[in-house]
Amino acid sequence: MDSPARPALDLSRRDLTLDLARVTCVVFVIVVHLLQVGIGTDEQGALVTSRPAEDQPWFAAATWIGQIMPLFFVVGGFAAAAGWRSWTARGGDATGFIRSRTLRLAQPALPLFVFFAVVLSAATLLRLPSDLVDPAAVGAGTPLWFLAAYLLCQAGVPTLARWHERAPRRTLVFLAVGVVVVDAARFGTGITEIGLLNLLFVWPFAQQLGFWYHDGWFDRRHPLTLAGIAAGCYLLLWPLTAVGPYSANLLDDLNPPTVPLAVLAVAQACLLRLAKPLLTQLMAVRAVRGIVFVLGSRLMTVYLWHLPVILVLTGLTLLIPGAAPAPASPAWWWSRPIMFVAVVAVVLALSLLLVRAERIGPLRPVPSSAIVAIAWTCAFLPPFAVMEWFLSLWVAVGGAVLLGIAVVLLRRGRRATAVVGGSGTARSSLGSEA
Contacting residues for 1 by C-beta, under 8 A, at least 6 apart: 96, 364, 365, 366, 413, 417
Answer yes or no: are the C-beta atoms of 29 and 306 closer than 8 Å.
Answer: yes
Q: What is the pTM of this model?
A: 0.92
Sign of the C-alpha dihedral, residues 53, 56, 58, 60? positive
pLDDT tens sequence for the chain (434 residues): 444 444 444 555 688 999 999 999 999 999 999 999 898 887 777 788 889 999 999 999 999 999 999 999 999 999 999 999 999 999 999 999 999 999 999 999 999 999 999 999 999 999 988 888 898 899 899 999 999 999 999 999 999 999 999 999 999 999 999 999 999 999 999 999 999 999 999 999 999 999 999 999 999 999 999 999 999 999 999 999 999 899 999 999 999 999 999 999 999 999 999 999 999 999 999 999 999 999 998 999 999 999 999 999 998 998 888 888 999 999 999 999 999 999 999 999 999 999 887 788 788 888 999 999 999 999 999 999 999 999 999 999 999 999 999 999 999 854 444 444 444 444 445 655 43
- Rounded Cα distance, 208 and 188, in Å: 27
Q: Exposed/middle/buried for 131, CB within 10 Å: 0-12, 13-18, 19+?
A: exposed
DSSP 266-321: HHHHHHHHHTHHHHHHHHTSHHHHHHHHHHHTTHHHHHHHHHHHHHHHHHHHHHST
- Rounded Cα distance, 58 and 430, in Å: 30
